[in-house]
Amino acid sequence: MAISTQTHASSPCMPAAPIPRVLYLHERDGWYYFKRKIPAAIQWAFGGAKQIWKSLETSSRDVAVKAIETQRKSFDAEVARARQVKGAAVVRREQVRQRGIGTSKYLLDAHIEPLLDRFEHAHLITDDEERNGLSVVERAERHAELESALAQMLEQAATEDFAGYEETAQELLTGEQLLAPPGSAVRKSFLQRLLQRDIHIVEVQLERLRGRVTPTAKDAPPPPRRMPTMLDILEHWASDKTNQRTVDTYRGFVAEFEHVAGALPCVAIQGEDADTLVGRLAGRECSRETAENYLGGLATIFRHGITQRLVPQGSLNPFEHCHIDIAKRARSQDRRGYELAELNVFFTSRLYTSHYRPQGQVSDAGFWAPLVAAFTGGRIEELCQASVQDVSRINGVWTLRIAELDEGQAIKTEGSWRYVPIHEELIRCGFLVYVASVRGAGKQQLFPTLRNDNKYKLWSNALGKWFSRYIDSIGLTDDRLCFHSFRFSFRQWCTHSGISDEVRDALTGHWVSDATPGRGYMRVAERQYPFPLLVEAMQSLHYGGLDLKHLYVADPMKGVEPAFGQDAGFANGLPAVRRKRASGPQR
């Protein structure tokens, strides 16, 4: 016990003799009290009082000296608890991001050090405030407080008694919106490390009182839940993406993963977490292809985090090389092309044999888009976004350009840009007459009634929905059939007509990498396949048994030349006008 001395009255025959002065012991009107100054930073815990006077309920000095030690320990414990709560409250006032933007709400080992760093910073900021202006006596009192507190903490650490830190731990967890279930291993680890950090803090405070002051950082360490998560990296990845549909798809991948594994910081994600996701998808009877899409998308996001240094360099991508214990879908369940009989059913349905026209946006597209798809292999969005300027004549050959020259246009990949010679069967059915009528009306879109004022800015939104209903209504109810089936059919009939795979790929925009052997045309200007070979291929394409004679028009060139005027052809070959490809929609 720290003591000082004072003199008291003695007999005239004896000199004044020193008697022990006990720290914090005060006498008033013959009764003894415990008196202690309350540090300014924690006066709130004592009702705003600046000091405490507590009666020891005795007039005996000897009894009071014995009682003072108990009161001092009790006060030190109150002060320590108030300091801890204040430290947690300082952290809590900063309020980290809401759930769904930060990391997992469950305490992870990776959270603990950042959490304790913030706890220490709050304490040292408070210590800076309290040391300012202390008198010599107050510094001595402060030193005694800390020495006593340190001894108590070391005893707790030696006996692994963490009960006194439960309330502080809960304050810190609440402030950071974290959960650590009682009795869990992570909570015990947190309590143990919290006590050790508190010991370190008191040791630093004692060193400061001895004159060895280390400055406290101005800014608090970042909250533990600001460690990047998959959602954080997704937002960074999506910042320069223009295809909202792709972004939303990947956002769905991340949401599903976090639903299963929690919003883990990326550094804490393990391969087992990816396996858990696969198990959930399997439990929902998702296909192997769906699981592969999920893992591929998540691997892309994680890889972006590594390349952008949002995740430590050298981190293993937990979504790569995962074992997917889901059987591959039977080929009988894959989407397929139309059989010849089904094509005849479709093109002799009421849409093509009566005066029926769908209502609303798809009045023209409903009639023409299937025909164009069957004879070009074009994707639904490529056709629906086309403009009348995309139909032209190149060296005397009428051609449909699949491109992204206008702001409202987008193609799936760089290789999807192409010129497709228009098949003679389309011309016989009056396709050029239709295009001429649209041009003559001053319209820009090939199908001017279509709109892209939907969530994903898709020109094909209305057509895709209508088409699914229509083929069901005419008896084509196989779930494997859709608008894209025309593209499958086109590729199949290219093969049946003797067109090589290479030319077929050039017609349909199925490009491959520059490194692929035998694809030298990939490295030529404008990355276009030799146009005469495409013309030759389209001249040889024949749907054996498909009868469209009922759709032929009397004059397939009526009004075409006047409508196109000087734009009707390019005497010198392919036009070299191409907008630089942006990171556009992947449809």
Q: Is the pLDDT of residue 41 over 70?
A: no
**Per-residue pLDDT reduced to its tens digit, 238-258:** 998 878 888 989 999 998 898
**Euclidean distance between the first and final Cα of the chain, in Å?**
79
Mean pLDDT of 515-527: 47
Whether 15 is covered by a domain: the verdict is no
Query: What is d(CA 485, CA 71) in angstroms, rounded to the nearest whole number?
Result: 86
Q: Answer yes or no: do 247 and 374 share one domain.
A: no
Q: Answer yes or no: do 369 and 460 share one domain.
A: yes
The reported pLDDT for the residue numbered 584 is 40
Query: Hey, what are 357's tokens?
Result: 């026209």
Query: What is d(CA 389, CA 401) in angstroms, rounded to the nearest whole number?
Result: 8
The reported pLDDT for the residue numbered 527 is 58
Among 382, 371, 384, residue whose Cα is nearest residue 452: 384
**Per-residue pLDDT reduced to its tens digit, 257-316:** 988 887 788 888 889 999 989 888 887 778 888 899 999 999 999 999 999 988 877 889
Whether 135 is covered by a domain: the verdict is yes
Alpha helices in 441-586 (DSSP H): 461-473, 485-496, 501-508, 531-540, 560-564
Q: Answer yes or no: do 433 and 528 share one domain.
A: yes
Q: Is 261 within 8 Å of 105 (Cβ atoms)? A: no
Provide the edge-to-edge strand list for the sheet that holds 397-402.
391-394, 397-402, 418-421
Domain boundary among 329, 362, 393: 329
The reported pLDDT for the residue numbered 462 is 94
Whether 66 is covered by a domain: the verdict is no
Helix (H, G, I), strand (E, B), or coil: what is residue 487? helix
Whether 292 is covered by a domain: the verdict is yes
Helix H or strand E encompassing 418: strand 418-421
Q: Answer yes or no: do 235 and 127 share one domain.
A: no
List the single range of 51-65, 198-212, 519-533 with lowest mean pLDDT.
519-533
Tell me the residue range of the domain where 298 lies.
228-329
Mean pLDDT rounded to a whole number for the chain: 82
Q: Answer yes or no: do 367 and 466 share one domain.
A: yes
Among 85, 245, 110, 248, residue whose Cα is nearest residue 172: 85
Q: Answer yes or no: do 280 and 249 share one domain.
A: yes
Whether 39 is covered by a domain: the verdict is no
Query: What is d(CA 6, CA 12) in angstroms, rounded to the nearest whole number?
Result: 18
Amino acid at 532: P
List the CATH number of the domain containing 453.
1.10.443
Question: Please, which residues bridge with residue 516 across strands?
Answer: none
Q: Is 291 within 8 Å of 323 (Cβ atoms)? A: no
**Per-residue pLDDT reduced to its tens digit, 103-125:** 567 788 878 988 899 899 988 98
Higher pLDDT, 445 or 106: 445
The reported pLDDT for the residue numbered 517 is 47
List the CATH number of the domain containing 275.
1.10.150
Number of domains in the chain: 3
Query: What is d(CA 341, CA 364) in angstroms, rounded to the nearest whole number?
Result: 24
Q: Is 419 within 8 Å of 531 (Cβ atoms)? A: yes
Neighbours of 106 (CB within 10 A): 15
The pairing of beta strand 25-28 with beta strand 3-7: unpaired
Q: What is the pTM of this model?
A: 0.55
Whether 53 is covered by a domain: the verdict is no
Whether 30 is covered by a domain: the verdict is no
Query: What is d(CA 44, CA 39) in angstroms, rounded to the nearest whole number?
Result: 10
